[in-house]
Amino acid sequence: MSSIETQFLNLSTHHLLYSGIDPKTTLKGSASGKTIFLSGASRGIGQATAIAFAQAGAEAIYITARSEKELEETKTKITEANPETQCLYMVCDVTDADQVKTSIDDCVTKFGSIDVADANAGYLDKWSKIGESDISSWWWSWEVNLKGSYYVARYCLPHLIESARKYSANGSTGGHLILISSVGAQLLTPGASDYQTSKHAINRLCEFINLDHGEDGIKCFAIHPGGVPTTLAKNMPEAIHSHLVDKPELAAGFIVWLCSGKADWAKGRYLSSNWDVNELLQMKDQIINDDLLVNRLRTKA
């Protein structure tokens, strides 16, 4: 078995939405009464996730991105998915701390809480070797992917902690935080140093959020959203485009499933949207006992 193969679970994989994570059926009502905050929600996976939470019965969804026109389109799709779900948006650049804080404060002012936060905004430029890379573009990957996720986490966490306590008192679950990682975080691909190292750092940030705030009730996950042919993903070399076969609804349904509380035991870990959730649940004891799906330095073969 190769070193790459040992980093992934031997589970059945999916590329389309399936019944186990369908927000319209299996997960219908799982987001009832909850307020969802999403960055990068103007299109692609972020838009699909917002729609999925509406289908799952979210009370309110607050979306942010840099394009007001696309945010308005997402809002329309949310209303079409569930007319009872309230939706507001704000134009926001996740690399600007003040803008992120303002949008989160506005969400709480308008809707009263944040029960789920999804740091979905990302950046991926054309790949190049480090010695030939564009310095500004290379570092901008970190600015958007890591700093942007940190800002969303930093300003949402006090509200998520309050949500976790509220739902815990009612015998339910809240306080979920989703960070968008990538299968690339586990790989070494020539020319992908900026994107893959920033996503690897996302996994570690997820672990630290769990370490610092797990006892506060926070459930943080770093997820691979699948190989979705988004505008962003198509910046990868053309040879990789054949692997972009997943629908954005797959990641959206997986995120709603995680935030339903069914995988709270796996908090602080890297998970893939492609993995079959029923088989994942069957591995619960092994994952916990062997401390799988975390970043560690191997010292034994």
Distance between start and end Cα atoms, the chain: 12
Return the closest-CA partner of residue 228 out of 272, 264, 267: 272
Catalytic annotation on 167? no
Q: Which helix (H) or strand (E) holds 210?
A: helix 193-213
Q: Which residues pair with 86 in a beta bridge?
A: 60
CB 70 within 8 A of CB 46: no
CB 277 within 8 A of CB 21: yes
CB 227 within 8 A of CB 201: no
CB 102 within 8 A of CB 90: yes
Return the closest-CA partner of residue 293 out of 204, 193, 198, 194: 204
Active-site residue, selected from the candidate residues 62, 123, 195, 270:
195
Active-site residue, selected from the candidate residues 34, 75, 147, 199:
199
Determine the Cα–Cα distance for residues 107 and 85; give it in Å rounded to an integer: 14
Determine the Cα–Cα distance for residues 9 and 269; give it in Å rounded to an integer: 13
Catalytic annotation on 195? yes
**Hey, which residues are catalytic here?**
195, 199
